[in-house]
Structure 1
Amino acid sequence: MKKLFLYIVSLFIIVGCSDEIPEQKRPIQAKRAVLAYLIANNNLDTDIMNNVVWMYESLAKSQDSCSLAIYYKPSSSNNYINEAQILTFFTDGHGQINGQPALEGNDITTSNVVGQALKYAAISGIATQAEVMQANLQAMTDMMPAESYGVIFGSHATSWMPATGTDISTFSFGYDGVERNSINIPEFADVLETCFPGNLDFVLFDACMMQTAEVCYELRNATHYCIASVMETPVDGFPYHLILNNLYQEDIDFDKLCEDVITYNKKEKLWGTYAVVDCTQMDAFAAAVREEITSKASLLENLSLHAIQQYGVDQFSYFSFDVADLIRQLNEGILPDSFQQILNQTVLAKSCITNSNANPYGSVLRDEEKYCGIGMYIPDAANNPNWNAYYRSAISWYQAVWGN
């Protein structure tokens, strides 16, 4: 906490010196700060560390003042960070980051980027414990006061599925250490509601399988937008060197964001589905889905699951089905106009790759028309008693759509 106090003092000093900047060159203070909560104490450490470098690369090109705080939990093999730390970067929009000339070209290396960061010891503990996550997010917001925030969460994840050691290992969100410590989505949503009371613009999941109705419904009171993939994602992560500056804009260009990610993935011969969901529409979306499945209960009972687009592979087969394709199958292959309207209000942008040669994920989606941007589980679709019991007892979407 002493380091945090010293940081806050240094921040006041920086602000106090801002009068030295000529009025015509004074940077415009960004209304939104971006935070990143990166749990890399696992086999993704090298890739997530590279994501930090990409974030810096984007900041170095920014023509606006931007604030970025990164909570980073490294693995024991990380050569640059040896304990959980908070890295902070402030760019003035005139080529300066943290009061120094921004790195350029070949100088943008992991070592140099970490070296230029203002670093502070994070609050210790398991990164996926609600209390630890909340404390560190709160510390970052204290460091970077802003009108609103966007938060990037990077690690392993498995959507709504419970973070428990079962016959199929699941992470829900986060994988901290050999014990695979994770946080379940309802508790995750509670943390966000506590830390960001009405001022969290977006959550971006740089993690697998998070763009499901179950996740977005839990987040409906926590954030406005959810940016994620319904599939397992490449280890490269989001190409932050191409998209981060977009996330600072007052009106984020979500179509461009999804297209930029897909363009990068295509160039690297990867796969991918990415979408942006308006979580504030999830109550209305749940009501529309419930109406469809309730009115066609007998058709649903006899519907072959193999006929519906699903997004899981191997042990995660049938964890999530395309919502629109399910409704389409219940309506003789036609999506009702009324449902299409609420879908358009809920899924604001989407982009995907079909027929990729990346095995096994490239073959999951063959027809772009079957991808609506958001998936959901069908109770008992998977022969996994742990999933099914947890789904009924803990997931709010179940009660809103499937419950009596």
Structure 2
Amino acid sequence: MKKILFIFLAACFFFSCEKEAIVIPQQHAGRTVLAFFWANNNLSDNLRRNILTMMNGLTEVTDSATLLVYWDGYENSTEPNWKTPTILRYTTNGRGGINGYSKDEIEDMFSNSSTADIVEIGVVEKSYPSQISTEKQVMQTVISDMMECYPSESYGIIFGSHGSGWLPTITGTRSIGVDGVNANTAVIPELVEVLRTVNPQKFDFVLFDACMMGCAEVYYELKDVTKYCIASVLDIPADGFPYASVMPYLYENAIKDYLESICKDYIDYYNYNGWGTISAVDCSQMEGLAEVTRSVILSHRDNLKNVDTADLQQYGKVGNNFKGYAYDMVQFVGNLTGGTVPEEFMQQFNKAVIYTDYTPNPTSFLYRIDGNNYCGMGMYIPNSSTTPKYLLWNNYFKSSIAWYHVSGWAETEPIWGN
């Protein structure tokens, strides 16, 4: 009787499996790189060229590797590619070919075809109706779809668009991403929640091809969702990262060993040809950096009003909108403590900032860096100003940014300076 029952249940099982036709996607070995481009703004052409240089870099990867791009460009425009938001796939065979085109065919395209024609060989994995790609639910859906399109052992992700660090979302000021108008932008805490939801195992890296993301407030928010972050505390020139040389590094298994190379390529590209700062940060060390920062601020709280921010290197260079969003972190600590940065602080800071550099020969005086007071990480210094900008910034800083609560600023609010 038991044998007959077993045969019956087994038959039901196999019939059910055949009926359901459940297929588990194969997980691809290695890392897949995702690029999320908010291109519905004046960077659309630049971001399209970034796809071209990414393809150029893919031809140099010596193993099979895949790049997935989410593109949301100008709506109702004459731009030649992808009229609605689209996920695109570019896979190299490790021998210079991409998406079934041979190395020779790809090289011929680069020599004789337009940017639009070359990037058009991307395989369309999914298209969406018009949507606001900076909305939290949209970001979550799209990044989940990208990962489902190409299941992999691990992922790194690039975000490309306008940016302004930790700042709140208001007209004229953005945090990251602009979809049509400045008011359509994402805030860092929401972006981090999205990344935590779609990939609980953490991303191998987050690369911000967006201005002013290289600040303590952003790095701290990212500590639970990515191992490493690559970002600039200054504006990034419109050309973005030099992906033709950087892309092969992004697929290396031991990505930490190549972070310095990524940063050096960036600085080499813009020295005498623009401007730049760049840092690679170990986000797992940000908790420790918050603790030591809190210790320094609380033990020297009586000096807070004596620190004149006018004496500090500040990184919000363009106009009044962003001025004061971040100051050099180590320089601030040195001024707060009377000129000598505590050894304990510096040791932990160096654990967090794996590598940093700046262009010593920028073509713009506006972006010239004082190398003697440059550490590679910016930090907001809240103040007691009652101007509308600082009222907004301070209220948002207190209500939404975790760094406020963990770094000592919450306990010292009554004695913030001007």
TM, length-normalised to structure 1: 0.88
Q: Aligned to 1:220, what secondary structure does the other structure show?
A: helix
Q: Aligned to 1:329, what secondary structure does the other structure show?
A: helix
User: RMSD across aligned C-alpha pairs, in angstroms?
Assistant: 1.9
Match of 1:327 among 301, 323, 333: 333
Moved over 6 A (4+): none
Match of 2:354 among 345, 348, 359: 348
Task: Deviation per CA, 1:126-151: give whole Å up to 9, x if none.
Answer: 10011111111011101111111000
For the structure 1 residues 107 and 194, does the alpha-carbon distance in structure 2 shift closer, same or farther, using more than 3 Å as the test? farther
AA aligned opposite 2:32: A
Q: Aligned to 2:271, what secondary structure does the other structure show?
A: helix
Q: Aligned to 2:393, what secondary structure does the other structure show?
A: helix
1:64-213 equivalences in 2 (<5 Å): 64-75=63-74, 76-102=77-103, 103-104=106-107, 105-107=110-112, 109-124=114-129, 125-165=131-171, 169-178=172-181, 180-213=183-216
Whole-angstrom distance in 2 between the partners of 1:287 and 1:296: 14
For the structure 1 residues 46 and 225, does the alpha-carbon distance in structure 2 shift closer, same or farther, using more than 3 Å as the test? same
Offset at 1:206?
0.3
1:256-267 equivalences in 2 (<5 Å): 256-267=261-272
Structure 1: runs of 5 or more not aligned = 1-8, 16-28
The residue that corresponds to 1:56 in the other structure is 55
The residue that corresponds to 1:6 in the other structure is none
The residue that corresponds to 2:35 in the other structure is 36
Query: Quick check: 371-380 or 39-48, which moved more?
Result: 371-380
Structure 2: runs of 5 or more not aligned = 1-21, 412-418
Offset at 1:179?
5.7
For the structure 1 residues 255 and 279, does the alpha-carbon distance in structure 2 shift closer, same or farther, using more than 3 Å as the test? same
Structure 1 contact 37–154 (Cα < 8 Å) conserved: yes
Task: Deviation per CA, 1:40-64: give whole Å up to 9, x if none.
Answer: 1000011111100000001112211
Offset at 1:96?
2.4
Offset at 1:336?
2.0
Are residues 1:221 and 2:224 paired?
yes
AA aligned opposite 1:52: I
Greater C-alpha Rg = 2
Are residues 1:298 and 2:308 paired?
no
Match of 2:235 among 205, 218, 232: 232
For the structure 1 residues 341 and 99, does the alpha-carbon distance in structure 2 shift closer, same or farther, using more than 3 Å as the test? same
Whole-angstrom distance in 1 between the partners of 2:181 and 2:349: 40
Structure 1 contact 87–118 (Cα < 8 Å) conserved: yes
Structure 2 contact 174–182 (Cα < 8 Å) conserved: no
Q: Aligned to 1:342, what secondary structure does the other structure show?
A: helix
Whole-angstrom distance in 1 between the partners of 2:244 and 2:353: 25
The residue that corresponds to 1:391 in the other structure is 397
TM, length-normalised to structure 2: 0.85
Task: Deviation per CA, 1:231-268: give whole Å up to 9, x if none.
Answer: 1111110010010110110122111111100000015x
